Amino acid sequence: MSALLFVAQRVSAALLAAAGAVHLVTILYVARSGLTAGDVLGRTHGNAWLFAFYTLFVIAVAIHAPIGLRTVLREWTPWRGIALDVAMVAFAALLLALGLRAVVAVFVA
Amino acid sequence: MLLVRIWRGTTSGRFQVFAVPRRENQTVLDVVTQVQREQDATLSYRFACRVGMCGSCAMVVNGRPRWACRTRVSEAARDDRLQLEPLRNFPVVKDLAVEMTEFFDKWRAAKGFFEPGTAPADDFAVVSPGSSERQAADAGIECIGCGICHSACDVVAWDKDYLGPAALNRAWTLVNDVRDQAGEERLAAVSGASGCVACHTHMSCTKLCPQAIAPTYAIAGLKRAIVSRALRGAT
């Protein structure tokens, strides 16, 4: 199981490196080009490419962050075992729900 | 004169200061021996070979784990001062002597021992010196179990179950031993959350190993091996 988590964290990190770079460049472009929130939502509305990109981004975050947090908690606290794993699955579900909610919101806005 | 602060006690204790005459080519082992023979016979430390063969005399010298016998005072002392402590990440028996049982239990947990199988080979194995497996095993085989890498490792300090660089290095030499018959069991043994995946690649073990072994690379090899194993469907 730990080996699979190790692979999942490395693969999601690679995705996040690329997706994070694209996301930051997009933010810089929006901030410097004078687009309003309405302009941005106009472009995200119904855009299948952006929907797919940010869905992938959110999934990568929901995989990567809980695995890393689990390791940090194992090293810095006595918390171990099934309770920790269940908490991290719940944390992953929370990240996924909040992230996908935002992705869907800007897609249908 | 050399001012030497030496840890006295176990987990709790204090530093005691001794003044030791400086001598040419003096080693840290010479210093603790002078203290024990001439000043305080109750000082406990461990040594055997005195020449860097056995690894018994490992201790923390001015903040770094080192072999006392192979560390010259001239290279380790700062302003004619030395601070000597027991190895970190080990229970302290007394003063500079530490308990190694847990350390070697982790070698066993990592299956860090040769497994010939139930039906040993009829003849000698022919292992080419140039083969990649032989070279990978050779790179880590000179470990003498002194515990310096274990003392230097931050992850061992954080996770008491972490197998540690020495045990994982030994496991990697055996993964590459073509005669060994316990490859799958060994990879399973080092695959857990406190196995090779816990390594943060700080490389303190590799920097401080007196034998110039690179446990970090051995652990990286184990990571590749367990990933391959996991992708093949083994758990």
> Under an 8 A CB cutoff, do B230 and A4 touch?
yes
pLDDT per residue of chain B (235 residues) written in tens, 0 to 9: 999 999 999 989 999 999 999 999 999 999 999 999 999 999 999 999 999 999 999 999 999 999 999 999 999 999 999 999 999 999 999 999 999 999 999 999 999 999 998 887 888 999 999 999 999 999 999 999 999 999 999 999 999 899 999 999 999 999 999 999 999 999 999 999 999 999 999 999 999 999 999 999 999 999 999 999 998 887 5
How many other CB atoms are there within 10 angstroms of residue B223's CB atom? 22
| Structure confidence at residue A1 (pLDDT) | 64
> Under an 8 A CB cutoff, do A6 and B155 touch?
no
| Distance from C-alpha of A75 to C-alpha of B38, rounded to nearest angstrom | 44
> Under an 8 A CB cutoff, do B191 and A3 touch?
yes
ipTM associated with this complex = 0.78
Q: Are B60 and B92 in contact (CB under 8 A)?
A: no
| Structure confidence at residue A26 (pLDDT) | 92
SS3 (DSSP) at B211: coil
Q: Which helix (H) or strand (E) holds B39?
A: none
Q: Are B96 and B32 in contact (CB under 8 A)?
A: yes
Q: What domains, with CATH codes, occur in chain A?
A: 3-108 (1.20.1300)
Statement: residue A8 has pLDDT above 90: yes
Query: What are A64-84's pLDDT values in tens digits?
Result: 999 999 999 999 999 989 999
| A13 contact residues in B (CB cutoff 8 A) | none
Q: Which helix (H) or strand (E) holds B139?
A: helix B132-140
| Structure confidence at residue A11 (pLDDT) | 95
Closest among B146, B152, B149, B173 to B47, alpha carbons compared? B146
| B199 contact residues in A (CB cutoff 8 A) | none
Query: What are A23-68's pLDDT values in tens digits?
Result: 999 999 999 998 999 999 999 999 999 999 999 999 999 999 999 9
> Under an 8 A CB cutoff, do B193 and A2 touch?
yes
| Structure confidence at residue B62 (pLDDT) | 97
The confidence band for A14, taking pLDDT boundaries of 50, 70 and 90, is very high
> Under an 8 A CB cutoff, do A71 and B229 touch?
no
Q: What is the mean pLDDT of residues A72-100?
A: 95
Only one residue has tokens 């923390």, namely B60
* Option in B155, B158, B227 nearest A3 (CB): B227
| B231 contact residues in A (CB cutoff 8 A) | 7
| Structure confidence at residue B235 (pLDDT) | 59
Question: Hey, of B191, B201, B202, B219, which one would you mutate to test binding to chain A, going by the most A CBs within 10 A of its CB?
Answer: B191
Only one residue has tokens 């990933």, namely B227
| Distance from C-alpha of A99 to C-alpha of A56, rounded to nearest angstrom | 10
| B229 contact residues in A (CB cutoff 8 A) | 3
| A6 contact residues in B (CB cutoff 8 A) | 197, 223, 226-227, 230
| Structure confidence at residue B120 (pLDDT) | 77
Provide the angle, in degrees to the nearest 10, between the axes of the packed helices A48-76 and A81-108. 160
Report CA dihedral (B195, B197, B201, B204) to the nearest 10 degrees: -10
Residue ranges of chain A whose CB lies within 8 Å of a chain B CB: 1-7, 71, 74-76
